[in-house]
Chains A and B, each alone.
Chain A
Amino acid sequence: MSVTALPETSVPGSMVDNRSWYQRNRLRVAPWLFLAPAIIFFTIYVIAPIFQSIWTSFFEWNGLNNADGTSSAKWIGLGNYVELLDDEDFYTSLYNNVLWLVLYLLAVPAGLFIALFLNQTVTGMRIYKSLFFFPFVISQVVVGLIFSWFYNPNFGIVGEVWRFFGAAPPSILGDEDLVTYGIIFAGLWPQIAYCMILYLTGLNNVSPDQVEAGRLDHAKGWKMLWYVILPQLKPATFIAVVVTVIGALRSFDMIAIMTQGGPYGSSNVLSYYMFEQALSEFGFRMGYGSAIATVLFFIMLFFISYFLWSMYQDEKR
């Protein structure tokens, strides 16, 4: 600043800053040096691929290159999207995605309920809390295997229970009307554990003064929960909703393990349908898969924008 403000006639050199360029600009340069590795990695593997995928969705491409190394992709404009509009499997997947979203959110109140149940100081409570949290630590693949076995009508527990009551056991994963509910139920298990731990932490930080004040106002039970506790748990609820919504839209592992989208596509969701179209034994429609991924991305973007907006409101404060 001061240098440029000097009149041109001034003696050059007398006011020259003899620190190096980096030293003069270090506060402006340093953050970029610190950020460089993360930005480079993130751009290559996350940011750029989003645009490449959207671009690919305008092509018909089976993933093969020609013998001379050029891509065999063919530009078809909006062709893939037009095809999507007339694709029953796409609508089934979309419908199941909505089911997932709505039912998966049950994990939030269920997690709160268990957290309230466990928020005591009985001996051994810490161990109880960790054991209740346990399902979240296990991979979804293992959870999927556990529940496939659980649901098996021939030798799973569900079969045993039904037979105990003298009924023919349902084939949960083989019935188009039950299968998605069966998978979501399995998915809820770890997700409830996650929400529970969020609420337990939240409950830890509820201000005792306000609880006391509430008690003086004769607030009890549900009223206390609704008017005094829940408002204080708002940050926990926010995060629980965020992770649950994202989890619901990302559901993939369980479907891949438990049904592969079957029977005949009835438990498909967009994330698995995309994979099936683009990479499975009968798939390799990279363009069509990318179009499905793009749709999923924009659905997700709607939620992401909302979360970011909420975070932004927080940052401003």
Chain B
Amino acid sequence: MYKSLIRATATFGAAALLATTAFAGDLIINFDDPNPKPKAGFEAAVEKFKAANPDINVTVNINDREAHKTAIRNFLSADAPDITSWYPGNRMAPFVNAGQFEDISDLWASDPNLSTSFEAIKPTMTIDGKQWGVPYSYYQWGIYYRKDIFDKMGIAEPKTWDELLAASKKLKEGGVTPITIGTKFLWTAAGVFDYLNLRTNGYEVHNDLTAGKIKYTDPRIKEVFVKWKELMDAGGFVENHATMSWQDALAPFVKGEAAMYVMGNFAVASMKDAGLTEDQIDFFQFPEITPGLPRAEEAPADALFIPAKAKNKEDARKFLAFMAQPEIQSEWNKTIGQLPPNSKAAVGDDKFIQEGFATVSTASGLAQFYDRDAPAEMAKAGMEGFQEFMIKPDRLDKILERLDKVQAKVYK
């Protein structure tokens, strides 16, 4: 009643001023994943919204993911859509601070679904005590491995650090490189770093480091690299990783030349595309390093935001509330093979999604990923440092000192 009253007033006001588009209820959405499945999942959700709101005229623009990352800086001020996809955590901070995103705390407070079913993920959507977007999906990270190779060599899923090292040595002796990785685009190395850090020092240290409260030369962070070195010495990572993208690095995994991959769940689709069957691949949580430390996980989320300059904020809020509903999130994430942030939504029955859900729903904390939790400039320098360490481990001290210098500059 109240809402329709506002709506009536708004339309009346607009009509009185000018016969504008406010009547038609145009809603423009910029989305950022043109790959077949993500596109299909998103479009199906939009179709349902259209069916439920026939009076709203929805237009969707789908951009390439990398292109979207730079384009958003322009369209937010020059040609704002009513909804845009973006990332939570520190990645949304520049836009929130510049006043480019709409504060939607009101929606989080008033919508019964949003206010009750998103407790776990709410902190990552929050800056200055206000909420700025609605998450539609997230996914687990962990170690994907060649089950057939493990079985053949008689290796069980490692639960502890020592087991992981032992498994690596065994693989190496059998002529298989333990872990594949492609660091050309840097972020894959951050996944390894984050897990070693989360398992060695825990969630608080991850957050303090990315918030600039701990130095890189801190003994706790140095310890992370000691562990990393142990892993490298136990047989370690594929060679030439600096020239490979994460997809290139699938090749040794598919060929059976490497047996493990520290990755996000999106990689499963590519593994299957490359010819591996469901029986050949499996997943385990990154093993425990410091015994008894509460287990935190990497679980980056994708979200939808309203630009401050959106023209149709009312329908945009309606859209966000709609996309937060459990049925919509279940369906959408089933299509894209990821996890719904809504705790009441059903999780897909794919084995990796099930394992992923078991992993993240029992985690003591969820990290967004190094390059989303740390400010961009720090993230770039940090990930270059990780890559350099993987190639020249003896330069560690120099690298960490350099990162301290960048840190001092970035968080001033």
CA distance A247 to B94 in the complex (A): 36
Question: A131 interface residue, CB < 8 Å from B?
Answer: no
- Which of A35-43, A230-238, A276-284 is the contact stretch? A276-284
Could you say which interface size class chain B belongs to?
A: 35 or more
Q: Out of A66, A171, A285, which one reaches B98, CB within 8 Å?
A: A66
- CA A85 to CA B240, docked complex, whole Å: 32
> How many angstroms between the C-alpha atoms of A76 and B242 in the bound complex?
36
Q: Which residue of A lies closest to B238 (CB)?
A: A154
Q: CB distance B70 to A174 under 8 Å?
A: no
Chain B proximity mask over A49-92: 1 for CB below 8 Å, otherwise 0: 00000000000001111111100100000000001000010000
B228-255 interface with A by 8 A CB criterion: 239-243, 251
Main SS class of interface, A: loop
Q: Cβ of B371 < 8 Å from any Cβ of A?
A: yes
Whether, in the assembled complex, A264 has its beta carbon less than 8 Å from a beta carbon of chain B, the answer is yes
Nearest-CB distance from B174 to chain A (Å)?
A: 20
Is there contact, CB below 8 Å, between B70 and A279?
yes
A119 on the interface (CB 8 Å rule)?
Answer: no
Q: Counting CB contacts under 8 A, is B84 at the interface?
A: no
A83-B409, A171-B242 known; A65 vs B376 contact (CB < 8 Å): no
Residues A283 and B376 in contact in the complex (CB < 8 Å), given A64-B77, A174-B391? yes
The answer to whether B243 and A64 have CB atoms under 8 Å apart is no
Contact of A67 with B184 in the complex, beta carbons under 8 Å: no
Q: How far is the CA of A174 from the CA of B66 in the complex (A)?
A: 23
The DSSP consensus for interface residues of chain B is: helix
Q: Please, what's the 1-or-0 string for B380-392, where 1 marks a CB less than 8 Å from any CB in chain A?
A: 1000110110011
Contact with A along B359-403 (1 / 0, CB 8 A): 000000000000100001101100011011001100000000010
Let me know if B100 and A67 touch, CB within 8 A: yes
A284 contact set on B, CB distance < 8 A: 73, 94, 376
| Contact (A65, B388) CB under 8 Å given A154-B240, A171-B240, A281-B376 | no
Are A64 and B240 also in contact (CB < 8 A) when A263-B387, A263-B388, A282-B379 are? Answer: no
B73 and A282 within 8 A (CB): no
B94: chain A residues within 8 A (beta carbon): 62, 64, 284
Report whether A282 and B377 are in contact in the complex, using a CB–CB cutoff of 8 Å.
yes
Closest partner residue, chain B, to A174 (CB atom): B242
Bitwise interface map of A from 134 to 151 toward B, beta carbon under 8 Å scored 1, else 0: 000000000000001000
Enumerate A129-169 residues with CB–CB distance to B below 8 Å: 148, 152-154
Q: In the assembled complex, how far is the CB of residue B361 from the closest CB belonging to chain A, in whole angstroms?
A: 30
Q: In the complex the two chains form, is B100's CB within 8 Å of A282's CB?
A: no
Give Cα A64–Cα B76 distance, bound, in whole angstroms.
9
- Which of B186, B240, B308 has the most chain A CB within a 10 Å cutoff? B240
Q: What are 14 A-B pairs with beta-carbon distances under 8 A?
A: A64-B95, A64-B98, A64-B100, A65-B98, A68-B99, A173-B242, A173-B243, A174-B242, A262-B242, A262-B384, A263-B183, A281-B69, A281-B70, A284-B376
| Minimum-distance CB pairs A-B, first 4 | A174-B242, A67-B99, A282-B380, A263-B242
